[in-house]
Amino acid sequence: MSWKIPENLKYTKSDEWIDPQTGKVGITDYAQSQLSDVVYVEIIVSEGETVNKGDIIATIESVKAAADVYAPVSGKVVEVNEGLADTPEVVNSDPYGDAWLVRMEISDPSELDELMDADAYRKYCEERED
């Protein structure tokens, strides 16, 4: 399989991505392909809330599974993508674009160094397919 894995993002082992420039967070193409048809997105954090790396920030449900989405780094939630509640299927069609979940103000940029770059994440996805 080949998934879209943008070079400019950082990735977690639980299939979240974060854009180090903008602080936007979402789930990866690999994750949405595993979930299949997304029918429901609930973002459980609010604007202004401070989250720690690993905190659950959203739940995504598909026709075959539900998955928690975790904060890839610690920081303050500065924006929530309210539109996803009405159009959850965007997670399948545009996981790195319109389907971002929250935008964070990263409180400890060194946490980004603990995340995978695109090459490492690609290898990680391939290992799980074997």
pLDDT of residue 1: 61
Which alpha helices (H) appear in 3-115, and where do they start and end?
A: 29-35, 90-93
Q: Name the β-bridge partners of 41.
A: 60
| Residue 2 pLDDT level (bands cut at 50, 70, 90) | confident
| pLDDT reading at 38 higher than 70 | yes
Domains within the chain, CATH numbers bracketed: 14-129 (2.40.50.100)
How far out from the chain centre does Cα 55 lie? Answer: 12
**67-102 pLDDT, tens digit each:** 999 999 999 999 999 999 999 999 999 999 999 999
